[in-house]
């Protein structure tokens, strides 16, 4: 009997069985991807745990359903599911990202890949579909995109800063609204062009653009303020910062460049610096004036003692004495010292002024002869002084001295000769002009002396009015001429203005306020009167040298003298004096000034005449300013005349 033989069966190797089992377990175990199969019509044929996790359907709920269920209503109307399968068939693969719908109706952003599945004969068996939930990644990317867009809008909206990106060669890649506003170029005009376009020609010639990029690349930053050029060719003062832009690997990708137009700020800074410099100069000149005034006052006191003593000694020497020449020489030196102190006091605005209404035309005409003798034959004096000028209230002697100093300076600036132009004009200073001229609003007479000399550089011009500063040789100038004119102008309420350039001469302008009224003709000198009878005089001064010298001169004139070294001492001596005809007092004394002493005397002796002997005229406003004065240093003749004038005023 034959044993039936079973039909042969195809056996698969254990390796094939293990691979198939492992693959099924692998697909079923994947939870981050939805991996499932569709039949040729698109119905779900298999379902893994990943598909169940983020689509929400169990295998029993979804197998047999069409995969279009996962699409949005709009996508289904647009035929996207069918188009996806058609693309997979025609191209061998379909891949896209889009919104898909879970079982609960919520949406998620999916990355989808669909591949056709064919058997060995090429017959379509269905589709393999892999879906991944990229909602979180898309949210991150969207947030990044939104942040980048906001940053782009922010950069584009900035109009006060020019922000642009350069490539590694320095060509413009991006351009914001601020850059367009500041530099004038529209994006289409500048993109692709080299940023050296914004530099001045001289900076390009020096290689500044490339140096800026090299510095930024080497040091991590470049920052500078300099002139830059707009599209229309105008310049602006720019603050520029350039930073390198590098990739994750450190490779240089380009540069970020930020530019700001700070022209107005720079102008304001320069104006502030000029104002500070002007204030510093003013404070310096005021300090020098205070020092000069104090020194001159003390020097005047010393000269008073020297001159007075020399005078008395000379009177006591017999005629023909060989010592007279030495005394005369000493007297001349002392007088020159007195003139020097007057110039110092003029600079300090502390000299005694005797103002009167003066015609400027008559004042200048009266000096023509003096000018001619001073200037010499090599200098031509051109005078332009209208007769229609309004009068000014000035001390004639001081103005004449100031004008003479200005003319002499002009002469000395032209050693080979030339023309000195002296002119006068009446000018109305408006509010707009007042600031630049450092004057108050009003009408002024401007006396101007202009030369054709070598001129001054800026440093010399700045110091020209300082006391004792001179460019002349040793022994050829004291350095007080311009400072005296400056002080006189300030004391009159005007100003000395100097304008000069090297090789173009100098113009000195003396601005003097116009005064109301008519100029008065010069008064004839008062007739000589007989010497007053011998007087009983109380002399007051805190300086023993001055007091002893003054007392000696008074006694030599025949007067009886009582001395006091302070105001308090003088007040104490008055009641004990059997007779007092006159009080002569110094002004600057410790404890009680001369004007304070005068006020006390007038309380008890209102009719007692007082003569104020002072080195300068810085007195408080009030009653003391009407007291007769005697300027130090003085000769015995000056003292005698002042006493006579004071006593006549009493009578």
Convert the pLDDT of each residue in 104-117 to its tens digit. 999 999 999 999 99
| Contact assessment for residue 597 and residue 569, using Cβ atoms and an 8 Å cutoff | no
How confident is the model over 475-505, as pLDDT tens digits? 444 444 566 677 677 777 888 888 888 888 8
What is 158-261's CATH superfamily? Answer: PAS domain (3.30.450.20)
Greater model confidence, 147 or 379:
379
**Which alpha helices (H) appear in 376-457, and where do they start and end?**
396-412, 431-437
Same fold, 19-134 and 536-650: no
Q: Does residue 7 carry a pLDDT above 50?
A: no
Q: With bands split at pLDDT 50, 70 and 90, how would you rate the model's confidence at 452?
A: confident
Q: Does residue 611 carry a pLDDT above 50?
A: yes
Rounded CA-CA distance 521/356 in Å is: 10
Q: How far is CA 645 from CA 368, 540, 556, 605, in A?
A: 32, 19, 19, 20
Q: Which fold has domain 19-134?
A: Beta-Lactamase (3.30.450)
- What does the pLDDT average to over 545-574? 91
Q: How is 239-290 classified by DSSP, letter by letter?
A: EEEEEEEE-TT--EEEEEEEEEE-HHHHHHHHHHHHHHHHHHHHHHHHHHHH
Average pLDDT over the chain, rounded to an integer: 81
pLDDT at position 407 is 85
| Secondary element (H or E) of residue 65 | none
Q: What is the number of residues in the chain? A: 651
Q: Does residue 127 carry a pLDDT above 90?
A: yes
Could you tell me the residue ranges of all domains in the chain? 19-134, 158-261, 274-347, 356-513, 536-650
Question: What's the first-to-final CA gap in the chain, in angstroms?
Answer: 188
pLDDT at position 101 is 94
Angle between helices 544-556 and 263-316 (to 10 degrees): 40
- Residue labelled with tokens 């007040």: 571
pLDDT at position 214 is 95
Which residues have C-beta within 8 Å of that of residue 390, sequence separation ≥ 6? 426, 443, 445, 514, 515
Residue 559 three-state SS: coil
Residue 398 three-state SS: helix
Phi, psi dihedral angles at 345 (to 5 degrees): -70, -30
Q: Which fold has domain 274-347?
A: Helix Hairpins (1.10.287)
- Residue labelled with tokens 């229309």: 232
What are 196's two structure tokens? 């050296």
Long-range contacts of 207-215 (CB under 8 A, 24+ apart): 209/170, 210/170, 212/240, 212/242, 213/166, 213/170, 213/242, 213/255, 215/242
Q: How far is CA 444 from CA 60, 160, 213, in A?
A: 111, 47, 58
How confident is the model over 280-313, as pLDDT tens digits? 766 665 665 565 556 666 666 777 778 778 888 8
Half-sphere exposure of 132 toward its Cβ, with a 13 Å CA cutoff?
11
Sign for the pseudo-dihedral over CA of 277, 281, 287, 288: positive
Long-range contacts of 201-210 (CB under 8 A, 24+ apart): 203/227, 209/170, 210/170
Q: Does domain 536-650 fall into CATH 3.40.50.150? A: no
| Contact assessment for residue 158 and residue 166, using Cβ atoms and an 8 Å cutoff | no
pLDDT at position 481 is 54
pLDDT at position 325 is 79
Q: Which region among 500-504, 507-511, 525-529 has the lowest average model confidence (pLDDT)? A: 525-529
Which residues partner with 129 through β-bridges?
A: 36, 114
The CATH number that domain 356-513 falls under is 3.30.565.10
């Amino acid at each position: 009997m034959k044993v039936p033989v079973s039909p042969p069966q195809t056996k698969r190797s254990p390796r094939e069985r293990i691979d198939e089992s492992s693959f099924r377990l692998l697909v079923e175990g994947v939870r981050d991807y939805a991996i499932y199969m569709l039949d040729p019509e698109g119905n779900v044929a298999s379902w893994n745990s990943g598909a169940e996790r983020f689509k929400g359907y169990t295998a029993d709920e979804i197998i047999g359903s069409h995969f279009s269920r996962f699409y949005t209503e709009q996508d289904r109307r647009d035929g996207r599911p069918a188009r996806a399968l058609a693309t997979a068939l025609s191209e061998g693969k379909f891949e896209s990202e889009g919104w898909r719908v879970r079982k609960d109706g919520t949406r998620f952003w999916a990355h989808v890949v669909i591949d056709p599945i064919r058997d060995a004969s090429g017959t379509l068996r269905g589709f393999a579909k892999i879906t991944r939930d990229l909602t979180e990644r898309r949210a991150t990317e969207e947030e990044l995109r939104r942040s980048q867009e906001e940053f782009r809008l922010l950069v584009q909206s900035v109009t006060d800063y020019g922000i642009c990106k350069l490539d590694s060669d320095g060509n413009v890649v991006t351009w914001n609204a601020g850059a367009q506003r500041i530099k004038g170029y529209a994006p289409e005009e500048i993109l692709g062009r080299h940023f050296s376009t914004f530099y001045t020609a001289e900076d390009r010639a020096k290689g500044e653009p490339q140096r800026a990029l090299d510095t930024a690349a080497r040091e991590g930053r470049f920052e500078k303020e300099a002139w830059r050029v707009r599209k229309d060719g105008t310049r602006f003062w720019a603050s520029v910062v350039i930073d390198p832009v590098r990739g994750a690997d450190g490779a240089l990708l380009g540069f970020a460049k930020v530019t700001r137009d700070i022209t107005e700020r720079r102008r304001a800074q320069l104006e502030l610096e000029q104002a500070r410099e002007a204030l510093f100069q003013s404070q310096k000149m005021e300090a020098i004036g205070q020092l000069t005034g104090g020194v001159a006052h003390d020097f005047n006191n010393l000269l008073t003692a020297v001159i007075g003593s020399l005078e008395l000694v000379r009177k006591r020497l017999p005629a023909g004495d060989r010592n007279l020449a030495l005394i005369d020489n000493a007297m001349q030196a002392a007088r020159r010292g007195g003139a020097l102190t007057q110039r110092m006091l003029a600079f300090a605005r502390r000299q005694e002024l005797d103002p009167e209404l003066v015609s400027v035309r008559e004042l200048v005409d009266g000096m023509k002869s003096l000018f001619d003798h001073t200037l010499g034959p090599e200098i031509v004096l051109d005078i332009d002084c209208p007769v229609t000028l309004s009068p000014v209230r000035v001390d004639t002697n001081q103005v004449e001295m100031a004008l003479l100093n200005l003319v002499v300076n002009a002469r000395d600036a032209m050693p080979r000769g030339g023309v000195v132009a002296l002119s006068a004009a009446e000018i109305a200073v408006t509010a707009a002009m007042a600031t630049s001229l450092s004057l108050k609003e009003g009408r002024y007479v401007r006396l101007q002396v202009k030369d054709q000399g070598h001129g001054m550089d800026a440093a010399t011009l700045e110091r020209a009015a300082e006391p004792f500063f001179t460019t002349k040789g040793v022994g050829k100038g004291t350095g007080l001429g311009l400072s005296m004119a400056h002080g006189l102008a300030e004391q009159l309420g005007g100003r000395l203005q100097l304008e000069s350039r090297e090789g173009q001469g100098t113009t000195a302008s003396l601005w003097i306020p116009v005064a109301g009224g008519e100029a008065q003709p010069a008064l004839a000198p008062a007739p000589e009167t007989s010497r007053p009878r011998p007087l009983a005089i109380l002399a007051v001064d805190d300086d023993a040298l001055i007091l002893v010298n003054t007392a000696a001169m008074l006694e030599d004139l025949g007067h009886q003298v009582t001395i006091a070294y302070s105001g308090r001492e003088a007040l104490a001596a008055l009641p004990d004096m059997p007779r007092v005809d006159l009080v002569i007092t110094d002004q600057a004394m410790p404890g009680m000034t001369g004007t304070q002493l005068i006020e006390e005397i007038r309380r008890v002796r209102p009719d007692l005449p007082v003569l104020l002997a002072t080195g300068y005229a810085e007195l408080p406003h009030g009653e003391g300013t009407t007291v007769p004065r005697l300027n130090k240093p003085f000769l015995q003749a000056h003292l005698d005349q002042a006493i006579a004038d004071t006593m006549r005023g009493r009578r």
